[in-house]
Structure 1
Amino acid sequence: MVDENNLVSINIDKSKILSICREEIRELLEDLDNEYVFWDSAELKKRTCMSWNSIQDTFFFDDRFPKYKIGGKWYYPVKETRTFLEKWLSEQIK
């Protein structure tokens, strides 16, 4: 739309812009998660927002928790670990 001063006026649907941004952010986060095949212990602490002691005290020794020790370092497959953590958390709420 052009007014008499030859200036351009733009109307923006704020809710539509927010919806597009949320979808783009969701896709970027999903892509970021798919970049990792496994986490190390530092990434596990970061993803769970838990200290190493808390992880060991709560779920680390659960037989269902997927973990592999290679050399002196622990590795956790991302998809299986995420699935376990979501199930474990839901069990804690009950």
Structure 2
Amino acid sequence: MIQVQIDEEIVKELCKEKIEAVLKDVSKELVFWDRKELIRRTCISWNTIVEKFFHDPRFPKYKVGSKWYFPAEDTTRFLLKWLSEQPRG
């Protein structure tokens, strides 16, 4: 007869590490976002984006032809900074 013992805390920690690694990879999957991806990632309508921060000189954006592109990592950093600057209440 074979008996196996599993330390649940170790299993939980291994699962947590694997999930964090997968999430990190998924978030870096895209090098840049287009307008639709920016809307999806922020859950903010295009009109509100334009009104609130699109024209902020710190907001990273590039127009290629008729489409806007936003570098994923730089845009994420900007959005977190911008959000922290917003009044609460």
Cα 1:93–1:9 shift into 2, 3 Å: farther
Answer with 1 or 2: which has the greater Rg.
1
Structure 2 match to 1:78: 72
Query: Match for 1:89 among 77, 83, 87?
Result: 83
Structure 2 match to 1:41: 35
Query: Match for 2:26 among 6, 16, 32?
Result: 32
Query: Match for 2:11 among 8, 13, 17?
Result: 17
RMSD between aligned residues: 1.8
Q: What SS class does the counterpart of residue 59 from structure 1 fall into? A: helix
Q: What SS class does the counterpart of residue 69 from structure 1 fall into? A: strand
List gaps (5 residues or longer) in structure 2: none
Q: TM-score, normalization: structure 2?
A: 0.82
Q: TM-score, normalization: structure 1?
A: 0.78
Structure 2 match to 1:65: 59
RCO comparison, higher one (Cα < 8 Å, 6+): 2
Partners in 1 of 2:87 and 2:26 — Cα distance? 28
Give the deviation of 1:18 after TM superposition: 2.5
List gaps (5 residues or longer) in structure 1: 1-5
